[in-house]
Structure 1
Amino acid sequence: MNLTRSLSRCLLPLAAAAALLTGGPAQAQDRITFKVIGQPAATGMVQKNKEKPFFDDFAKRTGLPIDADYKAVDQLGIKDTEQLRVMKAGLFDIVSLRVSQNSRDEPTLLGLDLVGAAPNYETARKVYEAYFDTLDQRLQKQFQVKLLGAWPFGPQILFCKKPVAKLADLKGLKVRVYDQNLAKFIETVGGVPVPLSFTEVHQSLSLGVVDCAITGPSSANSSGWPEVTTHQYPIGFQMAVNGYAITLKAWNRLNADQQAKMQAAFKTLTDDIWVYSEQLTKDAMNCNAGKEPCTTGKKFNLVDVPVQPADLTTLRDAVATISVPTWAEICDKANPGCSAAWKATVGKVIGIK
């Protein structure tokens, strides 16, 4: 009997170790760490006040025995256009996915954020909810990652170091863009699109590499763009949607109950960011123009240019005439049926056939 007990005591730790080695579902007593790629620290408040605290306190927020080794992408030496590749290679477990920036590797992503398709938060939310399952299935199949949720930085507007009163004034100006859909639109209004990563923009504006650049008001404020520009034109080209994705390898380490807790935690986070993003956008617009109330950012003195109704019409019309056709040609080559799936989901929501 004593020998049996001794053998049992010896075998139990071995069995636990074997379970870990075989990558089985995480047990309550196991403590594991997920490696996480975050948003660039340079993007500001959402990363600093919502995303990073969530991952810093990951075990408590999820109710799971999991820690997060979180690092912002601009502190890793990894380009924000390479996130899906490094996830597929198994180098990280969770990524704060920059949707437009990774759309060259997976054009289906851009269906979340086509130019002109979501001019406000309410519409953007409808687009996201309509498209979630379609995009999740594609990412699982193509990159072995599961989508856990998505949220917007907010309307992506124009910042220029030259006077701009309407879209037609972009003729001949070099404009920083971050995806091919936006580049095509800027071309159609006479601008010269220049693809640049977010971290390159401040210096590029300062040196005259570009005359204008597009981002959200809060991100521009946090990174000091108003130091090197003079005008903001608040027409929202896109909503800069970003997502959270987990590798299927990491996801499948969790049992059904743990997966439900993980999904619920990310829903709480993303819902919170949707609300916070809208608050930040309104406040940052004021801060950039030196107006009150300005509670979250630094005050600057940009000229706040009123949006021309004709430009809003141009942007709205561009969805059917530019955004969808341009994107569909690229996406259907990489993912046959891509645009048809979009029209059957998002298209129904926003009235595009």
Structure 2
Amino acid sequence: MTLHAELCRRAARMLSQAVLICLGLALAWLPVTGHASAPLKLRIVGGLAGVNQYVQHEEPFWSQELARLSGGKYSAEIAPFDRSGIPAEEMLRLMSLGVIPFGTALLSAASAQHPMLGAMDLSGLNPDMTSLKRHVASFRPLLQKTLREKHGIEVLAVYTYPAQILFCKKPLASLRELEKRRIRVSSPSQADLIQGLGGVPVLVGFGQMLTHLQSGNTECAITGTMSGNTIGLPDITSHMYNLPFTWGLAVFGANTTAWNALPSDLKALLRKELTRVETNIWNASERETADGLACNRGDPSCERGRPGKMIQIEPSSDDIKLVRELVKTTVLPRWQQRCNQHCREMWESTIGSVPSDIPLPNSR
């Protein structure tokens, strides 16, 4: 079974349960207005629990800063989606339905059902944050238009996690040594690249990653440099390969009906302040990419993580060429197969038009 089929199967299996859970809590997730004199309080579903993006940026903004910035007129409560009984694959759908009026959707998870949304962060496409920023900037207007018109979601921010690299339990000198290794992935695009390298992709959620490595079900895992440190990967893996496979983009948005119902001054405040939060998250993700590497290898420069003893492998020129070739011959063609002709046109008018980027095979 392909990873795409597996993602769809899981989504179908979990949808009924997720809808029942969320519909049962629907009133709790709606804006709370109370009496006319009472402050309006929002209910927010945030990103992954425990990682710095949520702990240091999302949670403080909603639970503390919003009330301060509005002079106590508005406030919010926030909970991470993965501790709220909500499957990542269904977040976009539940936001579209209005079950979750304000939420954070991981685009890697959403891309299983909506391949177009994975275009900005295809595996191997962004070897550095400069590339990622350029691709997001070129695609963002279309992302906003598509989510608003087709899904009824107003995009308020686009977040990124630190670079997602490869952690392995056994030595690794080059990417060609991944052949036949079972590797944790989180998206169809990551699976495409791993298969192109001869590895065996295994779809595993973030919260279950450590268990699968400990049990031997997987030998390696693709995840963020700092998030890997946070959950303890330096304790059970020995080598990390310093080449971003992906980064991990997320969209914070609002159901359009819920958004339009907000007071105009609150909408203006959120537009302004979420732009600041987004900038802070991007800057922090760039710092944490380097700090995660330093902490995993036990470098004295480690600031926020727990020092480990991992061996850091730098990609050779041959490996870099191999990845770029696989993007052209494997990752992009398979993404196009999951998508449609409109996606080809979309690519050519956005990401594919950015100088020095990789064109779709046979594209004009």
Structure 2 residue 195 is the aligned partner of structure 1 residue 187: yes
From 342, 346, 352, the equivalent of 1:347 is 352
In the alignment, structure 1 residue 154 sits paired with structure 2 residue 162: yes
* 1:35-74 correspondence to structure 2 within 5 Å: 35-42=43-50, 44-57=51-64, 59-60=66-67, 63=70, 65-74=73-82
Q: Which amino acid aligns with 1:271?
A: T
Q: Identify if the C-alpha distance between structure 1 residues 153 and 291 changes in structure 2 by more than 3 Å, giving closer, same or farther.
A: same
* Residues in 1 aligned to 2:322 and 2:135: alpha-carbon distance in whole angstroms: 20
1:254-300 per-residue CA deviation (whole Å, 9 max, x = no partner) reads 35554332211111000011111111111110110111201100011
Moved more, 231-240 or 322-331: 322-331
Q: Specify the SS of the correspondent of 1:337.
A: helix
Q: Is the 8 A contact 1:158 1:232 kept in 2?
A: yes
Paired residue secondary structure (2:331): helix
Matched, 1:222 2:227: no
Partner of 2:28: none
Q: Which has the higher contact order (CA 8 A, sep 6+)?
A: 1
Change (3 A) 1:307 1:61: farther
1:168-247 maps to which residues of 2 (within 5 A)? 168-247=176-255
CA shift in 2, pair 1:257/1:122, >3 Å: same
Preserved CA contact (<8 Å) 1:95 1:244: yes
Give the TM-score normalised by the residue count of structure 1: 0.86
Shift of 1:315: 1.6
Q: Distance in 2 between matches of 1:127 and 1:86?
A: 27
The aligned counterpart of 1:305 is 313
From 259, 280, 290, the equivalent of 2:298 is: 290
- Tell me the SS of whatever aligns to 2:218: coil
SS in 2 for 1:268: helix
Task: Say which SS state the counterpart of residue 43 (structure 2) adopts.
Answer: strand
Please say which of residues 45-54 and 64-73 is displaced more in the overlay.
Answer: 64-73
Distance between the aligned counterparts of 1:173 and 1:61, measured in 2? 51
Equivalenced residues, count:
326
Looking at structure 1, the residues matched to 353 and 297 of structure 2 have their Cα atoms a distance apart, in angstroms, of: 37
SS in structure 1 at match of 2:305: coil
Task: Note the C-alpha offset of 1:314.
Answer: 1.6
The residue that corresponds to 1:322 in the other structure is: 330
Aligned mate of 1:92, from 93, 97, 100 = 100
For residues 111-134 of structure 1, the C-alpha deviation after alignment (integer angstroms, 9 at most, x for no partner) is 121112211111111111111111
Note the aligned Cα RMSD (angstroms): 2.2
- 1:238-263 alpha-carbon deviations (Å, 9 max, x no partner): 11112211110111113555433221
Q: Is residue 265 of structure 1 aligned with residue 273 of structure 2? A: yes
Larger Rg: 1
Residue number in structure 2 paired with 1:338: 343
Q: 1:71-123: CA deviations, max 9, x gaps?
A: 01221121222211221232222112211012112222101211122111111
Q: Check whether the contact 1:230–1:302 (CA below 8 A) recurs between aligned residues.
A: yes
Task: Give the distance between the partners of 1:159 and 1:285, measured in 2 at CA.
Answer: 11
Task: Give the stretch that moved more between structures: 202-211 or 86-95.
Answer: 86-95
Matches within 5 A, 1:5-16: none
User: Shift in Å at residue 35 of structure 1?
Assistant: 2.1
User: Which residue is 1:114 aligned to?
Assistant: 122
Cα separation, 2, equivalents of 1:128 and 1:73? 24
Contact 1:100/1:240 (<8 A) preserved: yes
Q: Contact 1:153/1:277 (CA < 8 Å) preserved in 2?
A: yes
Query: Following the alignment from structure 2 to structure 1, what is the Cα–Cα distance between the partners of residues 289 and 68?
Result: 26
Distance 1:58 1:254 in 2: 18
Q: Per the alignment, in what secondary structure is the counterpart of residue 138 of structure 2?
A: helix
| 8 Å contact from structure 1 (residues 34, 92) kept in 2 | no
Q: Within 1, Cα distance between the matches of 2:237 and 2:324?
A: 27
Task: Check conservation: 1:170, 1:189, Cα contact below 8 A.
Answer: yes
SS of match in other structure, 2:75: strand
Q: TM-score, normalised by structure 2?
A: 0.84
CA drift of 1:58 comes to: 5.0
Q: Secondary structure at the match of 2:243?
A: coil
Cα separation, 1, equivalents of 2:231 and 2:206: 9
Structure 1: distance between partners of 2:66 and 2:296: 37
